[in-house]
Structure formats: C-alpha cells, structure tokens
Amino acid sequence: MISSRLRFISSLISPVEVIADIGSDHGYIPADLLKNDIAKKIIATDISAPSVQKAIDLMEKLNLSEKSDFRVGNGLEVLNVDEADTVIIAGMGGKLICEILQNGYKNKFKEKIPTFVLQPVQQVGDLRYFLIKNDFDILDEHIFVDQGKVYQVMISRKINSEKTHSLYKIDLNNQVQIKYGTINIKKKSQILISQLEREYDKLNALIEKLELNNIEKELIESKKIYLYQLEKVRYEISKS
C-alpha cells in the first residue's frame, strides 16, 4: 500500500507524457501515477535489481506493465537524452540528490527542460542551496507530516538562459530560509509554525546549557545567530 508520504508526492505531479522515478524501489509512485492517468509512460529506476523486480511485480499485478519501463542503474544515467518530462527523486538524502543532478543533468537533458520533484529525507538545506547555486529555479515548495516526521518537497526546473532569472528570492546567509524555504515560509502553514516553535525552544535551551558549561564562545555565537534568524522568521509568519 502506498504511504501518505508517497501519495502526497504523487498528488503534486501534473499530467505529462513521460515521468521517470529515480530510486523507485517498490514502484508505488509510478503505479499511482498510471492509475490516475498522470503519465502515458513511466520509467521506474533503481540502483538495486531486487527493488526494480518489486516494481515489475507490482505493475504486472495491476496490469500496468505496458505503460512501464524498468531500468537498473545509478541516478539519471539510465535515462536516454531528453526522454523524461518530469523526474521524481524522492526518499534519499539531499546530498545524494545533489550528486545525481550534478553528475547527470547536462548529459541527459540537452533541449528539454524537465520538471524535478525532489523530496529529500534529510539535508534539505544542502539541496536547496545547491539548486540556487546551480541555476535551478524553485517553482514551489511544500512541507507535510507523515507518521510524525516532517518532510519537504521542492518543485524545480533548470533556468534555461542568461536572460531568464529565477523568481525565487532567498538570502543565502539566512540558514532558516535555506532550511525551510521562502515559499514554505510565505505559506505560513501550521506544520511549519509548529516546527519553528519546537526548534526555537530546543535551541534556546541548548544555548543556555552551553553557556552554563562555558563551551567555546564561537559555537554559542553561531547558535545565537541561527536563533535570531528563527525568531525573525517566526515574527514574520505571525504577522497577518
């Protein structure tokens, strides 16, 4: 059965011809997309042959094999040039997603500019920073909860020319913006508000503990800078 996390990711994807799911594992997202006519063809990939076999078995069970292609390999390397309209990379670390984009994008997308649906399970800020520094526009962001854990999704596309500029505004010196994203902050969701409150309280308590134990001042100051940024974002969200 598809999890709430995977179903949420699937719900964000617009209808296109071909969707590639990188690191597809059991193939739950591809199956959900095909059942709902979001794509005419799905490419389910994974570095693990047993995982790809699970996706094959699922598609055969659901009579969706004719619209599916299965490939074993690393990242974007298994795709043909300009093959996919939308690429999903979900359920892995943000740094690994950065590596996949860094190593594969230029070789696999020459004319087509695909939409990327990215859902890191950790290192979200690393991924967001990478996208901005490498000329990927962030079109939308979402924050959601599944089984008590907070996740984020970013919808992104490569900026295709020097004349095109990103509409995504972010201060790369602001670690809170990098961690949570300015679109998420503007949306002012209760999930984000609660997350910021928990992080603020936890960090405030940590700083007090560090000061009591005479921990090096540089570490304390760096924590205080982040605390101030947290406080500022919380205030901005609280304004109606």
Q: Using CA atoms, how far apart are residues 94 and 156, in angstroms rounded to an integer?
A: 14
User: In which residue are the tokens 């490498």 written?
Assistant: 134
Which token pair is 156?
């992104």
Kindly write down the DSSP assignment for every residue of 21-64, as one continuous string.
EET-TT-HHHHHHHHTTSEEEEEEEES-HHHHHHHHHHHHHTT-
The whole-number pLDDT of residue 238 equals 86
| Sheet with 136-146: strands ordered across | 68-72, 39-46, 16-22, 86-92, 115-120, 149-158, 136-146
The whole-number pLDDT of residue 163 equals 58
DSSP 14: P
Which CATH code for domain 4-167? 3.40.50.150
Burial, 29: exposed, middle or buried (Cβ in 10 Å; 0-12, 13-18, 19+)? Answer: buried
- 3-class SS of residue 190: helix
For residues 143 and 184, the answer to whether their CB atoms sit within 8 Å is yes
pLDDT tens, position by position, for the chain (240 residues)? 689 999 999 999 999 999 999 999 999 999 999 999 999 999 999 999 999 999 999 999 999 999 999 999 999 999 999 999 999 999 999 999 999 999 999 999 999 999 999 999 999 999 999 999 999 999 999 999 999 999 999 999 999 766 567 789 999 999 999 999 999 999 999 999 999 999 999 999 999 998 888 778 889 999 999 999 999 999 989 875
Q: Using CA atoms, how far apart are residues 207 and 205, in angstroms rounded to an integer?
A: 5
The whole-number pLDDT of residue 3 equals 92
Rounded to the nearest angstrom, the gap between the alpha carbon of residue 200 and the centroid of all alpha carbons in its chain is 23
The whole-number pLDDT of residue 166 equals 79
Q: How many CA atoms lie within 13 A of 108 on its CB side?
A: 21
CB atoms within 10 A of CB 26: 18
For residues 119 and 6, the answer to whether their CB atoms sit within 8 Å is no
State pLDDT tens for residues 80-138. Answer: 999 999 999 999 999 999 999 999 999 999 999 999 999 999 999 999 999 999 999 99
Alpha-helical segments (H) within the chain: 4-11, 28-35, 49-61, 94-108, 124-133, 175-180, 182-187, 190-212, 217-238
The whole-number pLDDT of residue 167 equals 80
The whole-number pLDDT of residue 87 equals 98
- pTM attached to this predicted model: 0.94
For residues 27 and 6, the answer to whether their CB atoms sit within 8 Å is no
